Structure 1
Amino acid sequence: MNRLIVISGCSGGGKSTLLTELGRRRCPVVEEPGRRIVAEQMRSRGGALPWIDMTAFLHRVIALARSDLKAASQSNEWIFLDRGLVDAMAALQHVTGEPLLKALAGEAQHYHQLAFLVPPWPEIYVQDSERRHDLADATAEYLRLLEAYPALGYDVCIVPKATVVERADFVLGTLRARMRTLFA
């Protein structure tokens, strides 16, 4: 059984905060590939940044997401990933118009069948030095992901707008319930 749980959805919707809480509960987590690429490119003064060269940025994100998958798939534990390959491929498809998700559909599912998506949440959305797009762009991205994950065979579970503790309880409780149903 695939034990890699993707937390995706709206940029600025609280994914990283949720993953921090899951990590605090001793759940293994993998940081968002895009944030790691941005940090590395800013340190090295590179040009593969979403506001400079989105295509180059996304190709790096895809490579890092694939590397994360390979490393995480060796574990027998539940591992929670902050975004992943589907997100990056959907974004690159949006930018280039190439049918990348169709190609991805031919591959085996990369994550657990249940994908958690955080919805747009204007009350907590903030821009920063690494997140320069506005809420409208983040919402459009969310809507693309809301289509992409089911099109690739994932069951989407929307994480409710609640405290971070309640969100973590929801994710873990939903996974436990899914496991009970599978093995009943």
Structure 2
Amino acid sequence: MKNNSIFQKFYIITGGPGAGKTTLLNELKQQGFITAPEEGRRIIKEQLSSKGNGLPWVNKNLFAELMFDASVKTYQEMIQISGEKPVFFDRGILDTIGYLRLENIPVPREMETISDEMFYNKNVFILSPWKEIYKNDAERMQTWEEAILTFEMMKQIYLKYDYNIIEVPKISVDERVQFILDTINNL
């Protein structure tokens, strides 16, 4: 099942906060590609709106659980709708495990097991911290230093799970899209 061609078309775009992932995914979507949005930002918006506790600055465990469950659900939805088309994910399921490790929270065995069963293309695109575009907002409260630590953890977690890391250069959004598409075509 691991070599099934559908999973080979599942591409992760990861990195720390504020590195341009969402902008890049929005451009890929604009160009007609299937994209899966970042669950963390959506969950934070929902939790703020409902005055919930699943916020990273209130209850990190609950936030991670909500993010993991939503990522698994989105992954399963993409299997149903993608067919043989490529899908670009704004973060993968392993990002939640990276988040837990970054926060020194034990990773539940169930998350490890599920992560081992969810397959993506072995080439993961990572965006490094980019101070010139980094900014905080209502959902992104991490400091610049935390953004750097998150990037390093995401890199570490994907390498631990035997993914190949491809660093996307700090260039315009259009050039980043072209870089990713060229890289995929040359793999």
Query: Do Structure 1 and Structure 2 share a fold, with TM-score over 0.5?
Result: yes
Corresponding residue for residue 24 of structure 1: 30
> C-alpha offsets along residues 74-102 of structure 1, whole Å, 9 cap, x if unaligned?
22211111012111111113324425599
Instruction: Tell me the matched-pair count.
Output: 178
Corresponding residue for residue 6 of structure 1: 12
What is the correspondence of 1:1-184 to structure 2 with a 5 Å cutoff? 1=5, 2=7, 3-74=9-80, 75-76=82-83, 77-99=85-107, 103-104=112-113, 107-178=116-187
* SS at 2:116 equivalent: coil
* 8 Å CA contact 1:5, 1:112 repeated in 2: yes
Structure 2 residue runs without a partner (length 5+): none
Question: Structure 1 residue runs of 4+, over 4 Å off?
Answer: 99-102
Corresponding residue for residue 182 of structure 1: none
TM superposition shift of 1:141: 0.7
Deviates more, 1:120-129 or 1:105-114: 105-114
Alpha-carbon distance in 2 for matches of 1:104, 1:8: 21
* SS at 1:81 equivalent: strand
Alpha-carbon distance in 1 for matches of 2:53, 2:182: 42
* 8 Å CA contact 1:69, 1:110 repeated in 2: no
TM superposition shift of 1:136: 0.3
Identity of aligned residues (%): 30
Q: Tell me the TM-score normalised to structure 2 length.
A: 0.89
TM superposition shift of 1:108: 3.6
* SS at 1:116 equivalent: strand
* 8 Å CA contact 1:7, 1:117 repeated in 2: yes
Q: Tell me the TM-score normalised to structure 1 length.
A: 0.91
Alpha-carbon distance in 2 for matches of 1:67, 1:160: 30
Alpha-carbon distance in 1 for matches of 2:133, 2:73: 31
